Amino acid sequence: MSAASRLRWFAAAAGLVLCVACGSKKKDAPPDDETSRTHASGSASASGDGSKEARGQKRYPSGEVVDLDYRFRIEPPSKQHRAMTFEDSSVYEATAIAGLVAPADVILTVHASELEQGDLGAIAMGMYVDFRARGGAVDELKDVTFQGLPAKRFGVVNALRRSCYLYVRRQKFVFALAVGAPVSNPLASSCDVLAPLFDAVKLDDGPIVGPRYDEDAPDVATPSYRLHDGLYESAVGGYRLSIPRGVRTLVGLNAARMLPGYDVLVQTGQPECALGVRHQMVFMSSGREAFIEETRQTTARSMGATILPETLTWSVAGKKAKISRMLTPLREYFFGIVEQDHRTLELLGWCPPSTSDKPGATIERIAEKLAWLDDDAASSLRSELASVEPIDNVAEGDLAFRHGRLDDYAFGLSWTAPKRGWEVFIGTSAGSWAGGQPRAVYRATSLELGVSTLVFGQRGIIDKPGEYHDYVVSGLGTFKLGNATPTKIGTVPAITSTGEVDAYHYRVTTAAVGGAALAIITSGLASTFRDKEKAALEAETGLGVATLLVPFKTETNRYVDNHLGFSVELPTPWVMGNEMVDLHQRRVLAQDGDRVIEVHATVDAASARSNVLIAGATAQRLALRGLSLPTDDPAVTEQKVGSFTGRRLSWKPEGGEPIDAVVVEVDRITYVLIARGKGALEAALNGTKLVP
């Protein structure tokens, strides 16, 4: 095993945080945990000209959306097309600033990056090469014009969609327009067929200033962190960040959508910069420099960036931090790690490439507001957040976490999580490996105890358990553990090795479970294992082999989905069926004559927060049945589904059947009920149970 491979194994074992499971929403009226761009406060005409104070975006009764910061408009070609504001488009594509929903799941998004330096051809070529490196077919890069301006265009095709990208420079900004359609749609035959939809974007005259973030982020609290009155505090990372005014703050899942694995992301408007922060626990005495260098190199590769030889020094959390500079055609990145005993803060920020004498100064001023919490402050914060309702409805791949219990439908495992004081990650948020093997089951970390437990497995029969155990132990690099000792996971035979290196304790357990090789690695402060061994092993003791796990089952007029957490039962004469779109999306379909019911469950469906996107999806589903949706805006009201509160979009066409779409977010899974026809919604609400 190479040194780099050993480091990657150890990074997972030591508890590196990929915070996809961060962030929680109250069950009864989820808060929005990110700010929005300010809407135009002054008057504005359809041409985009407004008063001097007018900033942001404005939607007009005609359906047109005008952006006064970036000087463009979205003009829907017909009533079947729906323009998207920043609030709509950014939940579909995290970096989008506006867009358009067209019939048959065709979607246009607009993106803009402040980039005063750089040739448009080189920028477009960089993006073109990046797409080719990701795989899939990529059309030829072409020179085109867009509303009289020179532009670059190319297309990308994957198994599901064809997308067409157009790049054009305006003043000190580069705009990227993207339009995509399912490969089954005739419009997806080529970029030449899709490209006319770009004409829905109309460029306006005037100076482009970029975004201005004038609204403070709303307060939000979870058992792991809180954002209150401009102060972000992490109970699981033991740090805080004072948020300046005039920025956009993303936390939890919203931060992870923009920058996977990060706790908090702060964006500035002028210049367009951002800084992400995440916490980690690293239990190692030697090899820390090599580990940090491996992390730096991996980060640069993931960004497609070149590491510059010059470094910076910032004051972060009471220490002088070495900050690496990394360059791409579109951005200059800044990366650094700050250590405090077994804890680290990882910083990743970016700004437009600059010739300034002080690069990254905008995000350096934010990084200077980071501080560690002392033990008393961290303990107090944990106590204050202990009463906040935890995340309790999560699914990923073959895994589901609900009511404090994790079920692994692939490996046949169940795990009961500790009640309080542990941060839990499942699946790829717990750790990932090239090729998807091995596959993480869960990781649980306790800042208070200074302990991390990682469980992972891979398909395969272990014919020599001792050799597999030695192989896992060797993944810890130079750390030598004690002699292997027979033990059990429930009733399954297993092998355990333990040992200490300096101030740290390590414990490795391996077993063969249901045709899979399973490994449990617990590491942490040696003092904890000596004084509180039972507490230190709490994240191991709840793991066992499940006798029978059924992800979903279908009965006559009844569907139960244990994996995604819902069930639907309808009386006759409703005729039911179901579709498994993929592991993260399933739908139940029912019909009674002209009456229609559909119930969708989707993991992390941020786009469901947009009424425009929900309307487009509803129109698409009805069109598959030969039905249409009115083009008028729906009435939006609150709607209960069992004990959960969501929102209801209602259309009542004159002389036609009523149509409703009900959207409910329960932690990390979104449920959408679509009903058409008299009494259909009532039947859907009565027959649907969420998170049973």
Identify which of 146, 147, 129 has the alpha carbon closest to the alpha carbon of residue 138. 129
- DSSP of 225-294: EEEETTEEEETTTTEEEEPPSSEEEEEHHHHHHHSTT-SEEEEESSS--EEEEEEEE---SSSHHHHHHH
Segment 289-311 shows an average pLDDT of: 90
pLDDT at 211 over 50: yes
**pLDDT, tens digit, for every residue of 316-327?**
999 999 999 999
- Give residue 19's pLDDT: 26
Query: Residue range 574-597: average pLDDT?
Result: 93
pLDDT in tens, 233-246: 999 999 999 999 98
* pTM for the whole structure: 0.86
How far is Cα 131 from Cα 584, in angstroms, rounded to an integer?
25
Mean pLDDT value across residues 466-485:
81
Residue 225 — pLDDT band, cuts 50, 70, 90?
very high
Strands 451-459, 566-569: pairing is unpaired
- pLDDT for res 35: 30
What mean pLDDT, rounded, does the chain reach?
87
How far is Cα 52 from Cα 68, in angstroms, rounded to an integer? 10
| Closest C-alpha to 470, from 454, 484, 453 | 484
Domains in the chain, ordered, with CATH?
57-203 (3.40.1000.10), 213-383 (2.60.120.1690), 393-545 (3.40.1000.10), 552-690 (3.40.1000)
What pLDDT score was predicted for residue 604? 87
> How confident is the model over 467-488, as a mean pLDDT?
82
pLDDT digits (tens, 9 = 90+) for 65-119: 999 999 999 999 999 999 999 999 999 998 999 999 999 999 999 999 988 777 8
The pLDDT of 288-317, averaged and rounded, is 91
Mean of pLDDT values over 490-500: 90
How many DSSP H helices and E strands does the chain contain? 14, 47
pLDDT at 145: 97
